[in-house]
Amino acid sequence: MQKIRHLIEPSDLTNLEIEQLVDLGLKIFDDPAQYAQKCRGKILASLFYEPSTRTKFSFDSAMLRLGGNIIGFADPDSTSDKKGESLTDTIRVISYYADIAVMRHPKEGAPLLASKQAEIPIINGGDGGHQHPTQTLTDLITIKRFKGSLKNHVVAFQGDLKYGRTVHSLIKTLARFDTKKFILISPPELRLPSSLKRQLLKNYPALAIEEVNHLSDVVTQIDILYCTRIQKERFFNEEDYLKLKNSYILDKAGISAAKADMIIMHPLPRVNEIAYEVDDDPRAIYFEQSKMGVYVRMALIMTLLGVA
């Protein structure tokens, strides 16, 4: 029997596999009709123990667009979780009912634990402040579409770099694709975890990483500006969140000196960190980014089910 492939973190994929997923996603985007029956008869279980709009619905949409079906829940209180069933028991049973599953969970490591018991591929749809590999694939397909290549960019991350799992997954992955420089823009309280920074510098000694407090100090250098929401649900107390929640609000004036071909990304949802006036700027591509999530997830489902 073929070994079951899971996607728990981006390092489960080689660079070649990532490029193949991105390229397949772009092919599907160009001609979705070609793929409309690829997963006919297959079932995706979407298991969301934490709120989600884009990740859940784009996975559901991806499976339906491939001709497959979906089962699942968006509220664990409607399941035996509420009665105290363990995650591992739940996943064993779901393995009998579906062919592939995506799971979001507030506890870091929960999808990894589930994958040890599962007889079907498990995809991590976000685990706590840890990793979010399919958002990374979404980000990469967007970068490829709008910048032509994954390589040699100056990439700035702004916002909650401490708790933002999308940042943690993307920065580790982009480092594998010859990123020219990372610029980290955050209040001192929300800096990128030092263990992650150390790991990046150890693995990529030539990598340039600059940490600043304000976008205005670096705006002219940036090719890709990746903004994030302050992750309210990860704070230990409300007071700390309130102090930091409006640390950055990107507005038109703030990007007036930026490159004409800089792209502004955001995994969404935005709360306050990008003013609505920025949406009209041609460099603002965050809604296109969420659109691309469907196509790269179609590519991922097909690949993990062995029908790509």
Query: What are the residues binding ligand NCD (CB under 6 A)?
Result: 54-55, 126, 132, 135, 165-166, 228-229, 267-268
Catalytic: which of 104, 229, 266, 270?
Answer: 104
Answer for the pair 192, 161: CB distance below 8 angstroms, yes or no: yes
**Shortest distance, position 131 Cβ to ligand NCD, whole Å:** 10
In single-letter form, the type of residue at position 154 comes to: V
138 is catalytic: no
**Shortest distance, position 122 Cβ to ligand NCD, whole Å:** 17
Give the span between the Cα atoms of 94 and 82, in whole angstroms: 16
Give the span between the Cα atoms of 267 and 139, in whole angstroms: 8
How does DSSP assign 238-305, residue by residue? HHHHHHHTTS--B-TGGGTTS-TT-EEE--S--SSSB-GGGGGSTTB-HHHHHHHHHHHHHHHHHHHT
**Shortest distance, position 165 Cβ to ligand NCD, whole Å:** 5
83 is catalytic: yes
**Shortest distance, position 84 Cβ to ligand NCD, whole Å:** 26
54 is catalytic: yes
173 is catalytic: no
Catalytic: which of 55, 134, 136, 228?
Answer: 55
Tokens of 20: 């193949």
92 is catalytic: no
**CB closer to ligand NCD, 122 vs 268:** 268
3-state secondary structure of 263: strand
* Direct distance between the N- and C-terminal alpha carbons of the chain, in angstroms, rounded to an integer: 18
Catalytic residues: 54-55, 83, 104, 132
